[in-house]
């Protein structure tokens, strides 16, 4: 009997060890970059729920929705019976994260990464959680190689255009991306100079300040342009009409989830933006 019991115990331990080696099987992902990394590692079929910023790849839209990344509800996530929540660094609110951990759920907040090394760190972080460190390392190295090609395109430009990223214009003064933002990082990678370098974060920028900043190019998310009707709605505003961007009708509209992905598609985002910044207006 002791021999049989020992065999059964060994079988249980072996099975649990195999499960740990395979990594979590029911994953909730919060953050478009995190979801893209999970899919790039080949574990998209393990995802049972995503937040509203996880729009790529398109099949993620079929997953259960858990709301906006900074306004998560513990009850909805726990109802999916996940093994782990893997989320971007700014997931919240903090009480919801604490409630999930108190309920016994493994919650992993990824490091912030708005640079090439930062994205590589996120890839390795997610790979370790999934039990896929080798695949993660290969993906991180692939990203580095692809980025070299994208940065060559960016450095080939004969100018470093001053770019202003406008997040929104709905409430008067345009809401603009300053220093330390994702917009600031991707503009620099693509060979541009952030024209809104007089402040940190996303803040309203006055008409006088925009004119003084003299941006050569207006950068917006395509979703924002669609919501406003057309880019002409923006360029017709006095603060943009009186800038080189307005005078030369130089603007770039890119899909937000690509532009600010800072995941496996970062090389594509930099390449597309760099190419667009090198085009003249008209």
Give the chain's domains with CATH numbers: 2-150 (3.40.50.1980), 157-277 (3.40.50.1980)
- What is the reported pLDDT for 170? 67
Tell me the pLDDT tens digit for each residue of 24-40: 999 999 999 999 999 99
> How many angstroms separate the CA atoms of 130 and 136, rounded?
9
Residues of the chain above pLDDT 90, percent: 80
- What is the reported pLDDT for 281? 61
**Please, which pLDDT band fits residue 5 given cuts at 50, 70 and 90?**
very low
**Res. 11: pLDDT tops 80:** no
Residues in the chain: 282
> How many angstroms separate the CA atoms of 112 and 58, rounded?
24
- Given the DSSP bridges, would you call strands 27-30 and 64-65 parallel, antiparallel or unpaired? unpaired
Nearest to 72 by CA among 54, 47, 59, 45: 54
Determine phi and psi for 235, rounding to 5 degrees: -65, -20
pTM above 0.85, yes or no: yes
CA 143 to chain centre: 15
> How many angstroms separate the CA atoms of 214 and 216, rounded?
6
> How many angstroms separate the CA atoms of 210 and 238, rounded?
10
Helix (H) or strand (E) holding 29: strand 27-30
- What is the reported pLDDT for 144? 97
Mean pLDDT of 215-230: 91
Tell me the pLDDT tens digit for each residue of 97-152: 999 999 999 999 999 988 999 999 999 999 999 999 999 999 999 999 999 999 99
Tell me the pLDDT tens digit for each residue of 37-93: 999 999 999 999 999 999 999 999 899 999 999 999 999 999 999 999 999 999 999
- What is the reported pLDDT for 279? 86
For the chain, give the mean pLDDT.
Answer: 90
**Please, which pLDDT band fits residue 277 given cuts at 50, 70 and 90?**
very high
């Amino acid at each position: 009997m002791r021999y049989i019991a020992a065999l059964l115990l060994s079988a249980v331990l072996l099975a649990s060890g195999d499960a740990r080696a395979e990594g979590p099987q029911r994953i909730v992902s919060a953050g478009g970059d995190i979801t893209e990394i999970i899919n790039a590692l080949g574990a998209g079929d393990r995802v049972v729920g995503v937040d509203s910023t996880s729009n790529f790849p398109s099949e993620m839209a079929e997953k259960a929705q858990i709301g906006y990344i900074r306004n998560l509800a513990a009850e909805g996530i726990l109802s999916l019976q996940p093994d782990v929540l893997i989320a971007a660094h700014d997931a919240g609110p903090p009480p919801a994260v604490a409630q999930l951990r108190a309920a016994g759920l493994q919650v992993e907040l990824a490091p912030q990464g708005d640079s090439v090394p930062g994205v590589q760190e996120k890839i390795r972080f997610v790979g370790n959680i999934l039990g896929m460190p080798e695949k993660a390392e290969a993906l991180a190295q692939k990203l580095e190689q692809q980025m070299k090609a994208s940065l060559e395109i960016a450095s080939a430009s004969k100018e470093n255009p001053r770019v202003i990223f406008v997040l929104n214009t709905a409430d008067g003064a345009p809401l603009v991306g300053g220093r330390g933002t994702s917009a600031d990082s991707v503009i620099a990678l693509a060979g541009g100079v952030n024209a809104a370098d007089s402040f940190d974060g996303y803040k309203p920028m006055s008409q006088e300040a925009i004119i003084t900043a003299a941006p050569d190019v207006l950068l917006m998310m395509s979703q924002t342009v669609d919501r406003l009707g057309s880019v002409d709605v923006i360029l017709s505003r006095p603060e943009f009409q009186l800038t080189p961007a307005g005078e030369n009708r130089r603007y770039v509209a890119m899909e937000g989830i690509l532009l600010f992905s800072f995941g496996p598609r970062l090389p594509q985002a930099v390449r597309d933006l760099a190419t667009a910044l090198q085009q003249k207006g008209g």
